[in-house]
Each structure stands twice: as C-alpha cells, then as structure tokens.
C-alpha cells in the first residue's frame, strides 16, 4: 500500500467515525452561486493559492510554531488570491478547526485540502467555511468524481480536480471539471517534476482553469508556468519555510 492509498484508507475510517459523532442534521444548500474561488483564479495574471499546513508525508513537520490564523492573515495581506487549508490530521497534522477559524478571519476564498472520499466531507467543507474542495483523481473512480463535482456545484462550492497524468486529465475533463490541478509531486513516490505541468497544460482547454501544484520555489518557476498559460499556482512548503510571496511574483 502506497502513502496515498494509506491516507485515503485512514480518511475513510476517520470520516465514518465523524459521521457517527456528528451526523448531518441539515444538508447545506446554495447560499451563493458566485463561486468566489473560481472567480479569483480568472484574473489576467497568474493567481496564487497559498497553503497553510503544519506537516507533509515527505518532509515531516514543516512548522513547529504553527500559528495557522496568523499565517493565513499574512497570506491575505501579501496579496494571495486564495488559501488552501490542510484538514487531514495524520500525515499533514491538520484539523477541521483550522479551516473554521481561518474562515472566520480572512475574506479571500478557502480551499479545503483533504482526501475527499465521502460526500459527507463536501457538505462538511461548506459548513466549515470553504469555497472549494479538493477531489483527487487517483483515489476516486470517474463515476464518483462526477457525482462529487455535481454535489459541490449544487451547494455553491468549486471543485479543484487534481491530476497527475494524461489519463487523469482526460477523466477530469470527461466528468465536467471546471478547475484542473496538476500535482507536480507524485503522491506515490513523492518525486517532484515541474515540467509535468508544462506537458499536461496542452491537454486542458482555455475555458477550464488550470492550476499547477507543488514544487514551485522561485520566481523563475512561476514565470515558466505563467508562460504556458497556467491560471494559478498552489504553493505550500516554500512559503511555510519562510519564503515570501512577494519574492515569487
């Protein structure tokens, strides 16, 4: 079992427990059809999604003094378009409360970064204050992916559909993804290759938002992605280790 499969399995177990403890008494409905996450990524220049995370499977603990609200405020002040908040507790040391507290503090849209394996998590994301959820092609079959995208859109959430190869990009397009992310990090081997975004960008139509994720460390990296027409970059570890958003623009 690779790391991705392990996290997905543990997430299923975690969500089954949460469903028992906190069953959804009210299913969230649409409060806005404005889809702010998508709107901010459609700017003329490349947009920055800045990530709040304490740890990762490949690097362990990244931030010992993890003041997630302060970090989120700093991103907003620096001009981030959106913020990605890790809520996965085992490998990333995240928590649902991080998302809720950040949502109560900042005004820019939030992506719930977790391993969505149950529609409960989509409704939960809405309740916690997210504007978007992450759906990973590698852990969802195409029928489930399509269903989860439809649920997300029906309650006013955007869905960032994460891919890692040509087949997954085609699957994402076939099921109606409006935002496609390419993770430059292989979640099975953790190798990073930013040229993956350059290769897969060609498969994504211009009317679908394209996000490059992981391994983006320098202004030169951002410029390369700008030149291929990426709409946004998702940057986590570089910023969590003290990098400045201003230095990447």
CA 237 to chain centroid: 14
Residue 146 has a CB neighbour count (10 Å cut-off) of 18
Calculate ∠ Cα 245-103-46, nearest 5°.
35
Burial of 137 (0-12, 13-18, 19+ CB in 10 A): buried
Which residues are designated catalytic? 51, 53, 113, 162, 183, 213-214
- CA-based Rg of the chain, rounded to a whole angstrom? 17
Q: How far apart are CA 102 and CA 98, in angstroms?
A: 6
Residue 129 DSSP one-character state: T
Neighbour-count burial for 156-184, b at 16+ CB within 10 Å, e otherwise: bbbbbbbbbeeebbebbbebebbbbbbbb
Q: Tell me how far apart the alpha carbons of residues 70 and 11 are, in angstroms, rounded to a whole number.
A: 27
Q: Is 55 helix (H, G, I), strand (E, B) or coil?
A: strand
């Amino acid at each position: 079992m690779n790391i991705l499969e392990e996290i997905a399995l543990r997430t299923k177990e975690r969500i089954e427990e949460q469903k028992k403890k906190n069953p959804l008494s009210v299913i969230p409905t649409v409060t806005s059809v404005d889809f702010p996450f998508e709107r901010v990524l459609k700017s003329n220049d490349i947009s920055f999604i800045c990530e709040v995370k304490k740890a990762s499977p490949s690097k362990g603990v990244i931030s010992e003094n993890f003041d997630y609200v302060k970090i989120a405020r700093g991103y907003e002040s620096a001009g981030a378009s959106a913020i990605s908040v890790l809520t996965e507790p085992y490998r990333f040391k995240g928590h649902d409360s991080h998302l809720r507290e950040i949502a109560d503090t900042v005004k820019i849209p939030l992506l719930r970064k977790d391993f969505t394996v149950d529609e409960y998590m989509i409704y939960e994301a809405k309740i916690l204050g997210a504007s978007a959820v992450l759906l990973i092609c590698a852990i969802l079959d195409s029928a489930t992916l399509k269903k989860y995208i439809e649920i997300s859109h029906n309650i006013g959430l955007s869905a960032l559909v994460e891919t890692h190869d040509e087949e997954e990009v085609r699957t994402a397009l076939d099921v109606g993804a409006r935002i496609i992310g390419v993770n430059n990090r292989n979640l099975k081997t953790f190798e990073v290759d930013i040229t993956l975004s350059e290769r897969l960008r060609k498969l994504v139509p211009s009317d679908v938002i394209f996000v490059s994720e992981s391994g983006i460390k320098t202004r030169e990296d951002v410029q390369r992605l700008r030149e291929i027409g990426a709409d946004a970059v998702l940057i986590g570890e570089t910023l969590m280790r003290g990098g400045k958003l201003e230095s990447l623009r």
